[in-house]
Amino acid sequence: MFRIFVSSGSETRSNDHQTTTFPGGSSNGEAPVHHVHVAILGTGFSGLGMAIRLKQQGQEDFVVIERAADIGGTWRDNTYPGCACDIPSHLYSFSFALNPYWSRRYSPQAEIWDYLRQCAKRYGILPHIQWNSELQDASWKEDEQCWHITTSQGQLLANILILGNGALSEPSLPPIPGIERFEGVLFHSAQWKHDYDLTGKRVAVIGTGASAIQFVPHIQPQVAHLSLFLRTPPWIIPRLDHPIPDWQRTLYRMLPIAQRFVRSKIYWERELLALGFVYRTEMMQNGMQIARRHLEKQIPDPELRAKLTPKYTMGCKRVLLSDDFYPAITQPNVEVISERIREVRAHSIVTEDGREQEIDTIICATGFHVTDAPLHQHVYGRGGQSLADRWHTGQSAYLGTTISGFPNLFLLIGPNTGLGHNSMVYMIEAQLSYILDCMRTMDSRKLGTVEVRPEIQEVFDNEIQRRMQGTVWNSGCASWYLDAHGHNTTLWPGFTFEFRRRTRHFDAKHYEIITRQVSATARNAR
Ligand SMILES: Cc1cc2nc3c(=O)[nH]c(=O)nc-3n(C[C@H](O)[C@H](O)[C@H](O)COP(=O)(O)OP(=O)(O)OC[C@H]3O[C@@H](n4cnc5c(N)ncnc54)[C@H](O)[C@@H]3O)c2cc1C
């Protein structure tokens, strides 16, 4: 049963994870270096889910590295007004930890964050977490068959490294000339400044993606003037959010199978959308009609409506859900500007048409470093090659999880595991099963390393890019789904149940495997 709780500092900062000491670390009198079986990065749905599943298997020898002082990832960091999920909560949650208490169809951020904190507490993960610990560098050591990890808290050795650092965790600021010289207040939507009062301010919002359409209706009544800089209008359909009545919550608490039924229903409704995204893009016409009607109903002014009408097939960029965004931007204190920004000056923004607008505050709703995360430069595989180098022509991983040249490294929400239509938690859980099955195989066959065969990864990469061809995401719009080379290396081009089927079992035939070395065997004998 879930109850709201606020963890105390001592609870969340505890650091007494079960590790043993690596003898080599203390030879010169320095503090001993911990050697754990598994190091997990991050405490969002990915890292936390991995930790829980490991613990459920009886594995205690793992540490979770987290740069922040609390768990939650996306749901800890994105605290902008109106932040909520856009996949119904009954589905956007762990299958092994249903929460009958969700207050709404699309729960607000605080509730999802609480849910994750409660999961961490309930499953005993808090003692395994190394808080305020930024992973700075991880290098595979061939002779020792383990990862050498440097964090802001010190050194660590791990047989297996699992990266759950999040695809949307590194805010990206727009490369607009002069932006660094702005003397007003500037922040990213994922780093909301709650101590800064927007009342009466002249605010510029750059970007109209999933975050902007959630916070704009909340700040619009407060600000003196809101300049909304919009480059490519999103397709927006009605949100149809609603509170979950008490009787339903009681029912889910008393009869969990009823909630499972609702969860499956939502899953299959969402999954049907993959048909339009991936296989029959003409099916998106229905959705486009719904969105056009929504726009016509909420935006009476034909000139503004024209600015807000997308000129690409629905689904090419993320489809957004909102009932209050359009009404907010028709208010007299809002101006929608589709002219490109030429430069930012100390107290103003200048657009390509030469117009200069006085601005007190810039809020960047400009997304994240999705395919170029800084961490990629600091993870070194066999022969000292970094992930960034390995991926210089585009990121890829076998089943979004393993990479040739990077033994015993697993990615959660790695390349081509993202979704435009369904719950990311479903994909994460599929990956968790795959990694656990791999670890079981390693244990039973006494393997020291596993590394996907290059030819297997290549065949997989080719398959993904071939399947990407006919999808709506490759239909000609610019979106964060595409990398600098125009390749979609972020989304899964198919049904999610196919991904789950393919990750159900670890197939050792696809991997180079090396049995444990003697020194590693001592560590692994558990
Ligand atoms: C505003 C917003 C709304 C979203 N809504 C939905 C939705 O409705 N449905 C959906 O399916 N998906 C949604 N997503 C996507 C969402 O990111 C994923 O569903 C999921 O939460 C990702 O979990 P994660 O654990 O992989 O990553 P994150 O939640 O990003 O967690 C990553 C963790 O790793 C830590 N970390 C990163 N780098 C380091 C480092 N170097 N050292 C130490 N720690 C590090 C971070 O501090 C963080 O705690 C949304 C994303 C955003 C931004």
Q: What is the per-residue DSSP string for 202-266? A: EEEEE--SHHHHHHHHHHTTTSSEEEEE-SSPPPEE-----BPPHHHHHHHHH-HHHHHHHHHHH
The CB of 417 under 6 Å from ligand 1? The reply is: no
Rounded to the nearest angstrom, the distance between the alpha carbon of 170 and the centre of ligand 1 is 9
Average pLDDT over residues 245-273: 97
| Tally of CB atoms within 10 A around 278 | 22
The CB of 65 under 6 Å from ligand 1? The reply is: yes
376: nearest Cα among 288, 483, 464: 483
Given ligand 1 and candidates 188, 369, 424, 426, which is best to mutate, with the most ligand atoms within 8 Å of its CB? Answer: 424
Rounded to the nearest angstrom, the distance between the alpha carbon of 243 and the centre of ligand 1 is 25
The CB of 364 under 6 Å from ligand 1? The reply is: no
Q: Is 82:215 a contact under the CB 8 Å cutoff?
A: yes
CA distance 283 to 198: 42
Rounded to the nearest angstrom, the distance between the alpha carbon of 167 and the centre of ligand 1 is 6
Rounded to the nearest angstrom, the distance between the alpha carbon of 119 and the centre of ligand 1 is 16
The CB of 412 under 6 Å from ligand 1? The reply is: yes
Rounded to the nearest angstrom, the distance between the alpha carbon of 71 and the centre of ligand 1 is 11
Closest CA to ligand 1's atom 35: 42
Given ligand 1 and candidates 43, 48, 67, 74, which is best to mutate, with the most ligand atoms within 8 Å of its CB? Answer: 74
Say what the pLDDT of residue 516 is. 82
Rounded to the nearest angstrom, the distance between the alpha carbon of 282 and the centre of ligand 1 is 32
Q: Is residue 277 scored above 70 in pLDDT?
A: yes
The CB of 142 under 6 Å from ligand 1? The reply is: no
Which residues have CB under 8 Å from 457's CB, separation 6+? 396, 397, 398, 402, 403, 404
Compute CA 370 distance to the chain's CA centroid, rounded to the nearest angstrom. 9
Return the beta strands (E) in 311-360 as ranges.
320-321, 334-337, 341-344, 348-351, 356-358
47: nearest Cα among 505, 412, 399: 412
Average pLDDT over residues 403-429: 97
- Per-residue pLDDT reduced to its tens digit, 376-401: 999 999 999 999 999 999 999 999 99
- Per-residue pLDDT reduced to its tens digit, 278-325: 888 888 999 999 999 999 999 999 999 999 999 999 999 999 999 999
Say what the pLDDT of residue 478 is. 86
Quote the DSSP letter at residue 234: P
Rounded to the nearest angstrom, the distance between the alpha carbon of 444 and the centre of ligand 1 is 33
| Tally of CB atoms within 10 A around 521 | 13
The CB of 52 under 6 Å from ligand 1? The reply is: no
The CB of 512 under 6 Å from ligand 1? The reply is: no
Structure tokens at 518: 């003697």
N-terminal to C-terminal alpha carbon distance within the chain: 33
- Per-residue pLDDT reduced to its tens digit, 66-106: 999 999 999 999 999 999 999 999 999 999 999 999 999 99
Gyration radius (Cα) of the chain, Å: 24
Q: Which residues pair with 343 in a beta bridge?
A: 350
The CB of 44 under 6 Å from ligand 1? The reply is: yes
Q: Which helix (H) or strand (E) holds 390?
A: helix 387-390
Given ligand 1 and candidates 78, 169, 480, which is best to mutate, with the most ligand atoms within 8 Å of its CB? Answer: 169
Rounded to the nearest angstrom, the distance between the alpha carbon of 425 and the centre of ligand 1 is 11
Q: Is residue 244 scored above 90 in pLDDT?
A: yes
Environment class of residue 236 by beta-carbon count within 10 Å: exposed (0-12), middle (13-18) or buried (19+)?
Answer: buried
**pLDDT over 70 percentage in the chain:** 92
Say what the pLDDT of residue 293 is. 97
The CB of 325 under 6 Å from ligand 1? The reply is: no
Say what the pLDDT of residue 523 is. 53
The CB of 45 under 6 Å from ligand 1? The reply is: yes
Rounded to the nearest angstrom, the distance between the alpha carbon of 40 and the centre of ligand 1 is 14
Structure tokens at 89: 């909560």
Rounded to the nearest angstrom, the distance between the alpha carbon of 298 and the centre of ligand 1 is 32
Any idea of the CA torsion for 288, 292, 294, 298, to the nearest 10 degrees?
160
Rounded to the nearest angstrom, the distance between the alpha carbon of 108 and the centre of ligand 1 is 15
Average pLDDT over residues 194-214: 97
If you count DSSP H runs as helices and E runs as strands, how many of each does the chain have, helices first? 15, 21
Q: Is 2:115 a contact under the CB 8 Å cutoff?
A: yes
CA distance 150 to 137: 5
Local structure of 287: helix, strand or coil: helix
Q: CA angle, 391 as apex, 37 and 150 as ends, to 5°?
A: 35
Rounded to the nearest angstrom, the distance between the alpha carbon of 414 and the centre of ligand 1 is 12
Closest CA to ligand 1's atom 3: 85
| Tally of CB atoms within 10 A around 467 | 16
CA distance 323 to 340: 27
Q: Is 330:295 a contact under the CB 8 Å cutoff?
A: no
Local structure of 4: helix, strand or coil: coil
Say what the pLDDT of residue 1 is. 34
**CA separation, residue 224 to residues 182, 221, 337, 344 (Å):** 19, 8, 17, 20
Structure tokens at 415: 């390349």
Average pLDDT over residues 43-64: 97
In ligand 1, which atom is closest to the CA atom of 412?
26
Q: Which helix (H) or strand (E) holds 462?
A: helix 454-468
- For the chain, give percent helix, strand, coil, nearest 5: 35, 20, 45
Average pLDDT over residues 327-338: 97
| Tally of CB atoms within 10 A around 261 | 13
Q: Is residue 24 scored above 80 in pLDDT?
A: no
The CB of 38 under 6 Å from ligand 1? The reply is: no
Say what the pLDDT of residue 146 is. 96
The average confidence (pLDDT) of the chain is 92
Q: Is 185:364 a contact under the CB 8 Å cutoff?
A: no
Q: Is residue 192 scored above 90 in pLDDT?
A: yes
The pTM of the full predicted model, rounded to 2 decimals, is 0.93
Q: Which residue has the tokens 């170029």?
A: 372
CA distance 474 to 265: 29
147: nearest Cα among 34, 290, 32: 34
Query: 9-23, 36-50, 384-398: which has the minimum mean pLDDT?
Result: 9-23
Query: 238-247, 497-506, 515-524: which has the minimum mean pLDDT?
Result: 515-524
Local structure of 231: helix, strand or coil: coil
β 341-344/334-337 pair status = unpaired
Rounded to the nearest angstrom, the distance between the alpha carbon of 447 and the centre of ligand 1 is 31
Say what the pLDDT of residue 5 is. 28
Closest CA to ligand 1's atom 48: 73
Local structure of 166: helix, strand or coil: coil
Rounded to the nearest angstrom, the distance between the alpha carbon of 78 and the centre of ligand 1 is 9
Long-range contact pairs involving 481-485 (C-beta distance under 8 Å, separation at least 24): 481/317, 481/418, 481/420, 483/371, 483/372, 483/394, 483/395, 484/371, 484/372, 485/393, 485/394
Structure tokens at 297: 């109903």
The CB of 66 under 6 Å from ligand 1? The reply is: yes
Q: Is residue 525 scored above 50 in pLDDT?
A: no
